[in-house]
Structure 1
Amino acid sequence: MNLMCKEMKTLLPSGGHNHKMDVFNPRRQKEKVVIVMGATGTGKSRLSIDLATHLGAEIINSDKMQVYKGLDIATNKITEEEQRGVPHHLLGILDPNADFTATDFCDETSLTIESILGRDRLPIIVGGSNSYIEALIDDYDYKFRSKYECCFLCVNVSTPVLHSFVSKRVDKMVENGMVDEVREFFHPNADYGKGIRRAIGVPEFDKYFRYGPFLDEETKARLLEQAVEEIKNNNCKLASRQLEKIQRLRNVKGWNLHPLDATEVFRKRGKESNEAWEKFVYEPSAQIVRQFLYNYATAEVPANLGAMRVPMGSAALAAATH
């Protein structure tokens, strides 16, 4: 029995089935794919890793900026420690100056899904670029939906709480060295409409890098403050646009999105925050995915599932910021 089989047994009822027969049977009409959506900062990466750790899954990044190499702080890439050994695809692989379109994403993701399925693993797609996900799922001839059955998980956080968190996250990114990181990518003739320079956190620093060396310290500090404030505002605007897009996919296109409210996770701290994550996000998600994989009308998450999970250390908590 391979690793995934052993891990999947934790999601089966006693006396359950062989996952290879139920989930990845080649006779099945459609293979299954899990998609984790949500606005920036809601905890998508944390959820995808929690699920992948116990589903023998691999993760495909669908964030259009995180696909590029470099600017790990500015693009808020999940670190190797936070990945907890879960294989990640389309993450930090592309030349920073290259173009990467929705069509490129669809082509690469389709190949990656087939590769993951070929290893008897479950593909989990996660990221905030909803236009890429829409292009993949609702392609012009619906070829994707004819091959795959999708389970959509959508992590939500109330707007005031989310905007506050996203703004504080920018301050933390600055503390972690974002300014010096972005400085390496500054060029006076840079095209901010191409490649990784489109990322929030890059064009906002242009005036600071361009004029800063010629200004007094007070004026330079004011330029830096203005740049940081602009980054915060643009991140909040991004979150609002992402939420509008998700609402359109649900209300206009009829996508069956399973909402998961993580607001309490961000309102609380420490142990209480982790308990809220388990109660409101992880456990409901595990149940939804289990029902999706095994077609059970009702299912309870096994009591021993929580005990088998990786303890929440600082790396796991940090992943909640993605």
Structure 2
Amino acid sequence: MKLSMSCVCRQAVQPPVNFQGSQGNINLEPFFRRRDKVVFVMGATGTGKSRLAIDLATRFSAEIVNSDKIQVFKGLDILTNKVTEEECKGIPHHLLGVVEPGSNFTAKDFRNHASLAVESIVSRDRIPIIAGGSNSYINALVNGVDSDFQLRYECCFLWVDVSLPVLYSFVSERVDRMIQMGLVDEVRQIFDPEADYSRGIRRAIGVPELDQYLRAEGIVDERTRVKYLEAAIDKIKDNTCKLACRQYQKINKFYNIWRWNWHTHRIDASEVFLKRGHRNADEVWEEVVARSTTKIVRQFLNNEDRVATTINATPLPIAAASR
């Protein structure tokens, strides 16, 4: 697997502190070493995780580690909704568009490379912000077998939540914008009739859904092409909404487990999405999401009391996930 990791280097490891006991050397370093801080920004697809991570990184001395299992691959920037250079605002991003498109990048691979990225960021006295919607990646990093992440780092989890009906409407509109930006042409460039849609970047929602259209577009009439494309777009929207529902359920499960042991906070951004298109939408984002999470992170970095909070939110029953 070819992986571009030019911005990630391994931090020099200090010799462990050993105690000579009757059974041999006991490594006491994990018990005495100060734990560094790591911030996680979680949420379903389309909830503004990247925006929040960048906002926080501009307010603290921080760098971002991508934890989206599709955005980690090179290519399909429109379809995977990667942040642009302008949107990054000069904030370094790690594990974003660095893996070869046909590679099989597993949760274990992510854990290994993300650990290196975090070490690199911490070694430069900066705060790692891990942002993305792939909860299996985050779980592998924090709770994976053979992972010492919890011993080495103190974690703050920020869950950006949006009411599912509101989010469904937004992601549907976002798919339409992606189509206008050239999503179909982008997928056409990597189209292969023999492709394996279970591997690499071709797993991304939008690639397998366009398969029938791309196979038929050169051999059917215009009316049939339009019909196939409309069906593909509807399927992309439907599968994206189903993904958001699955992500919501998994994050909700993690939240209920982790909130007893970690700095864990749920921020309801539904109001922001209801205001989209309005002149004051950015002001609402600043008030509801950016400012409140900035306060949370500042308290976390200043070692204030561990607490789980819900900001501007009402409980969302799992039943709300049905479309």
Using structure 2 for the length normalisation, give the TM-score.
0.82
Q: Which residue of 89, 106, 111 corresponds with 1:84?
A: 89
* SS of match in other structure, 2:218: helix
Name which structure has the greater RCO, CA cutoff 8 Å, separation 6+: 1
Q: Which residue of 257, 265, 275 corresponds with 1:258?
A: 265
> What do residues 184-235 of structure 1 show as CA deviations (whole Å, max 9, x unaligned)?
1111100000110000010000000111211010011000000000000010
Deviation (angstroms), 1:253: 5.3
**Aligned: 1:272 with 2:280:** yes
Call closer, same or farther: CA 1:166–1:283 in 2, change over 3 Å. Answer: same
Deviation (angstroms), 1:296: 3.1
Aligned to 2:196: 191
Aligned to 2:103: 98
Instruction: Report the Cα distance in structure 2 between the residues aligned to 1:36 and 1:224, rounded to whole angstroms.
Output: 34
- Is this contact kept in 2: 1:33–1:149, CA < 8 A? yes
Aligned to 2:64: 59
Amino acid at match of 1:284: S
How many pairs does the alignment contain? 272
**Aligned: 1:47 with 2:55:** no
Instruction: Report the Cα distance in structure 2 between the residues aligned to 1:53 and 1:174, rounded to whole angstroms.
Output: 31
Deviation (angstroms), 1:279: 1.4
**Aligned: 1:223 with 2:218:** no
More helix by share: 1
Q: What are the equivalent positions in structure 2 for 1:206-245 lying under 5 Å apart?
A: 206-245=211-250
**Aligned: 1:292 with 2:297:** no
**Aligned: 1:155 with 2:160:** yes
- Is this contact kept in 2: 1:62–1:133, CA < 8 A? yes
Percent of aligned positions with the same letter in both sequences? 58
**Aligned residues: CA RMSD:** 1.4
Call closer, same or farther: CA 1:117–1:205 in 2, change over 3 Å. Answer: same
- Is this contact kept in 1: 2:141–2:147, CA < 8 A? no
- Structure 1, unmatched stretches of 5+, are 1-26, 299-322
- Is this contact kept in 2: 1:264–1:273, CA < 8 A? no
* SS of match in other structure, 1:276: helix
Aligned to 1:70: 75
Instruction: Report the Cα distance in structure 2 between the residues aligned to 1:193 and 1:266, rounded to whole angstroms.
Output: 32
Instruction: Report the Cα distance in structure 1 between the residues aligned to 2:283 and 2:298, rounded to whole angstroms.
Output: 21
- Is this contact kept in 1: 2:212–2:228, CA < 8 A? yes
